[in-house]
Amino acid sequence: MPANVTVLLVDDNPMIREMLRQSLANICTVAIANDGTDALLRCIENPPDLIVTDYSIPGLDGRQLLEKLKSRTGTAKIPLIMVASRADITEKLKMVQDSVEDYIEKPFFLKEAVSRIKKVVDKVALEKMAREAPGESTLRGSLAQMNIMDLFQSLEMGHKSCSLTLSNSGEKCQMFFSDGQINHAIFGASKGDEAVYKVMSWVDGTFSIDFTGSSAEQTTTRSTQGLLMEGLRLLDEANRDAEENVLEG
């Protein structure tokens, strides 16, 4: 299910632009601009939720576009991902690094680029859902809308401090985040890392995020990314064992 996020894709290379557009179409709504001037006008008229722009574009280049956007009240808060060469990132874009959500280094593999963009799309989608529930400290949704991996990465990238409750078929797991890192998790008799790993396979169920929730307990031993990577490894290992048992049977 595509996230309720509109991404403005800015690139003058029609082949790259179309490849990215097709790959992103399943996770967001994609709008297109061929150059920096067109992109600026589109952002003023109808601000997107996220901009993905090449640095070397006609008219306003990526840095000039970023500076113009940041100077306007109506567009200053639009997150932007910059696609640029390593030399441009380290030299020409060094002064604006804190204003950019992420960099994608050229040349890039399409799958990796889309994965990096998706992380930001998920973060933006979560923040948008929170904004659209005014006056409420708790955000609710289904794991069909946003899966566990996307939730973890969105909360980490957003440096959120909150409690996350996952529910599925009568079972419940509660986790606490501090500045985007899971510091405590409990699932039945399991705590910490083990509690996190036990719900990594959930694809159905619901989630609720309480932005006022917190815990001083520290039961996890890895970073959020570390928990994700180890959880996926254990899940993959369990799937391989299950396949081997079926073959042996």
Full-model pTM: 0.78
What pLDDT does residue 145 have?
A: 80
The whole-chain average pLDDT of the chain stands at 90
What pLDDT does residue 175 have?
A: 98
- What Cα–Cα distance (Å) separates residue 136 from each residue in 20, 130, 131, 162, 165? 36, 8, 9, 13, 16
What are the boundaries of each domain within the chain? 6-129, 135-248
Pick 123 or 248 by higher pLDDT.
123
Taking only the tens place, the pLDDT of each residue in 179-220 is: 999 999 999 999 999 999 999 999 999 999 999 999 999 999
User: Residue 131's pLDDT band (boundaries 50, 70, 90)?
Assistant: confident
Q: Flag whether pLDDT at 249 surpasses 80.
A: no
Computed on alpha carbons and rounded to an integer, the radius of gyration of the chain in Å comes to: 20
CATH class of 6-129: alpha beta
| Averaged pLDDT, 44-63 | 93
Length of the chain: 249
